[in-house]
Amino acid sequence: MEERIGELWHRLITRLAQDRYPEAAVRLSELNQTLGILFRAFGGDGGLRVEAAGASEHHARRGLLQRIAGSATRIELAWRDEQALRLPEVIDLFPRASLNRDLYFWLAALAACDPGGHLPWLAKNQQLSRLALERYPGMRARYRRLCEAHLAQRPDPAALRADEAAQEQAIRRALGDPGAVAQLPVASHAPWPVPLWLHPSPPGLAPGGAGRDQENESGGDSQAVKDGRSRRGERKEMGDADGGLITIRMENILSWGEFAKVDRGAEENEDLDQAKEAAEQLEQFSVTRDGESVASKLKFDLDLPSESCDDEILQEGMLLPEWDWKRQLMQPDHCRVMMLQARDAPAMDLPLHLKKTAKQLRAQFQQLMPARVWRHGQADGSEIDLEAYLRFSAERESGHQAAADNLYRDLRTGARDLSCLLLADLSLSTDSWIDNHHRVIDVIRDSLYLFAESLSATGDRFGLYGFSSRKRDPVRLHRIKRFDEPYSARSRGRIDAIKPGYYTRMGAAIRYAQHALNQQPAQRRLLLLLSDGKPNDLDKYEGRYGVEDTRQAIREARGSGIQPFCVTIDEKGNDYLPYLFGSGGYVVIHKPQELPRKLPLLYARLTRE
């Protein structure tokens, strides 16, 4: 009975203390793509993705009901860092959905004006607000409505202590007239948060030793937490493993909580699903180093296979540069590309389930073959070139000496002056399942089969390569078919032998493909990149660094006359591919099962003259 009464009391007091409007809530997921486009249109950094921000404690003075209910201690505020623009996952601050939606738009405009730097919170947000209103006059009416609605919700200065009232008055003046307040008065409590401004101290990991990889890491299962939220992290020192005193029974602890520096050994039988559920509930992650390994963890390193089991090494390595976007310089000889070829790849026929589709595609692609044309002025041919012979006779009759060469013509098949290199992502993610019967690698394999079958019908020169990486040395390039090699049963055997590799250092692979294409004498050169995700690797290549290096490699390829084009099955491809390849330089295949048939047709569209 007491529990029931307590539950009812908690519901009542929480409802009375609530200062949100869930019925008018607007979610970031509804506007994610629109906000990304708007942020870039406002001049924001195109390399930043849009993500949900985690909630932070604000330490401001709360009302009586909120203190009794224990609510309103945290708030989601916007901020941006080197990787992403982070916006509240849900905005339900105002009673009208249109105002909540306008707040998303205003925050995107505000963040687009942020040049970085370390100004104080009040000065910085006034400066950004003034810039946004000057650059985007269309936002003025929205900002005015948002200010009026927010000021009506802020604490009444008359009900506050003198120091807090002065602080609140300064914030109100700064909201109404950005730039009018030089300094925030000091008060005993932090001011009430301003959701129209960027975060005063964005969460981030502090430098320290806890983030280093442990030398004795083991393998094990892994599972990613993909709820779209950003969480605050901190680094902690692990407790002394020898000096612990246990004063409670561990089986009585039925909940997960933030880190405490106590001696607690790692358990080998921890449930990964339970760990994931706990991770979704925790606000803050503490990262420490205990010197022990466990069977299950959220991320694991990979070791290369032994040489006897690995593919055959054809070329020990080519050194290639890599772009460092933070320092804005090219690092020479930074990556080593190793060329490999499948060791066990016997010649084979086309798989039965693809033969019907391959036959249809070959018939379609034969229409792309140039028609037979007459070649005039040949030294030898099927018949006399009358025009050349008449010129020769006229010159001889007029007394001029004329050569009797090139008096024939011949009917020959034309050739398209075109070379294409297909570069397939063979990273670890291709081992994931699309449905109950197919993995990503299976779809890529079928795509390579049908692509090669189709192009062999046109006579176009093409090469097939795959790639994966494990840090910058080595980046593994798998040769499936050379440009000067005819498509054959041996080529099909190497296609059949492809398998998931490691990570995706895309910039180095693109630079090698550029080098290979530049060796081809064709007038037109096409680089097709087949991928299932973003650039990433175990080192700093994860995130913005990898995206910027890949973008730089694509720009280099375009500068050398190569046409790069990306085909991806990544559902989030529209978030980052426009920044990498441009709006017309990629396509997202939403149903991966359709990739094998669509890939050759995309090639036909790209190469149609």
Domain CATH code at residue 428 = 3.40.50.410
Residue at 264 is within a domain: no
Tokens representing 23? 């019925």
560 and 578 housed in the same domain: yes
The last residue of one of the domains, among 142, 160, 176, is 176
| Structure tokens belonging to residue 92 | 């339900």
Q: What are phi and psi of 187, to 5 degrees?
A: -140, 165
In degrees and rounded to multiples of 5, residue 425 shows phi and psi of: -75, 115
pLDDT of residue 45: 85
Distance CA 64, CA 60 (A): 13
The dihedral through the CA atoms of 116, 117, 118, 124 has a sign that is negative
Kind plus residue range of the DSSP H or E element containing 109 = helix 97-112
Which tens digits make up the pLDDT trace of 455-489? 988 888 999 999 999 999 999 999 999 999 999 99
8 A C-beta contact, residue 580 and residue 549: no
- Give the strand pairing for 329-341 and 74-75: unpaired
Same domain, 409 and 420: no
- In the chain, the N- to C-terminal Cα span, in Å, equals 80
Count of C-beta atoms within a 10 Å radius of residue 215: 7
If asked whether residues 436 and 568 sit together in one domain, one would say: yes
Is residue 85 within 8 A of residue 48, CB to CB? The reply is yes
Q: Give the count of domains, the chain.
A: 3
- At position 364, the amino acid (one-letter code) is Q
3-state SS, residue 438: coil
User: Same domain, yes or no, for 18 and 97?
Assistant: yes
Tokens of 6: 């307590």
Domain membership flag for residue 268: no
Residues of the chain with pLDDT under 70: 1-2, 6-19, 58-73, 204-310, 368-375, 401-403, 411-416, 609
The residue assigned the tokens 């109100």 is 172
**Together in a domain, 59 and 120:** yes
Say whether both 383 and 450 belong to one domain: no
Residue 264, CA distances (Å) to 9, 246, 248, 260, 261 in order: 37, 9, 12, 10, 9
> Does any domain span residue 288?
no
Tokens (6 digits) for 563: 């046409």
Domain boundary among 123, 141, 176: 176
Specify whether 534 is located in the same domain as 447: yes
Q: Coil, strand or helix: which one is 147?
A: helix
Whole-number Cα distances in Å, 52 to 40, 98, 499:
17, 20, 34
Q: Which two tokens stand for residue 496?
A: 């059949």
Report the C-alpha gap between 337 and 550 in whole angstroms: 15
Q: Tell whether 420 and 407 lie within a shared domain.
A: no
The reply to whether 392 falls in a domain is yes
The count of other CB atoms within 10 Å of the CB of residue 269 is 7
CB 134 within 8 A of CB 112: no
Q: Which residues contact 541 (CB under 8 A, 6 or more apart)?
A: 471, 472, 503, 505, 535, 549
Q: Given this model, what pLDDT does residue 16 score?
A: 56
CB atoms within 10 A of CB 355: 13
CA distance 536 to 542: 4
Do 122 and 72 lie in one domain? The reply is: yes
Residue 361 located in a structural domain: yes
The two structure tokens encoding residue 454: 């189709």
pLDDT at 480: 96
Is 293 a domain residue? no
Q: Looking at residue 523, what is its pLDDT?
A: 86
Centre a 10 Å sphere on the Cβ of residue 158 and count the other Cβ atoms it contains.
Answer: 7
**Residue 394 belongs to what domain range?**
371-413
Domain contains 242: no
Q: Are residues 323 and 404 in the same domain?
A: no
Here the contacts of 180-187 (C-beta below 8 Å, separation 24 or greater) are 180/126, 181/122, 181/126, 182/123, 183/120, 183/122, 183/123, 184/120, 184/121, 184/122, 187/161, 187/163
Specify whether 111 is located in the same domain as 47.
Answer: yes
Amino acid at 266: A
Where does a domain end: 355, 383, 413?
Answer: 413
- pTM of this structure: 0.67
- Residues 455 and 523 occupy one common structural domain: yes
Domain assignment present for 249 = no
| Cα separation, 322 vs 535, whole angstroms | 13
CA distances from 2 to 7, 8, 15, 254, 423 (A): 9, 10, 20, 21, 67
Q: Nearest to residue 343, comparing CAs of 306, 303, 309?
A: 309
| 315-339: burial string, b at 16+ Cβ within 10 Å, e else | eeebebbbbbbeeeeeeeebbbbbb
CA separation for the pair 493, 485 (Å, rounded): 14
Contacts 24+ apart (CB under 8 A), 169-177: 170/122, 171/122, 174/122, 174/125, 174/126, 175/147, 175/150, 175/151, 176/147, 176/151
Whole-number mean pLDDT of the chain? 80
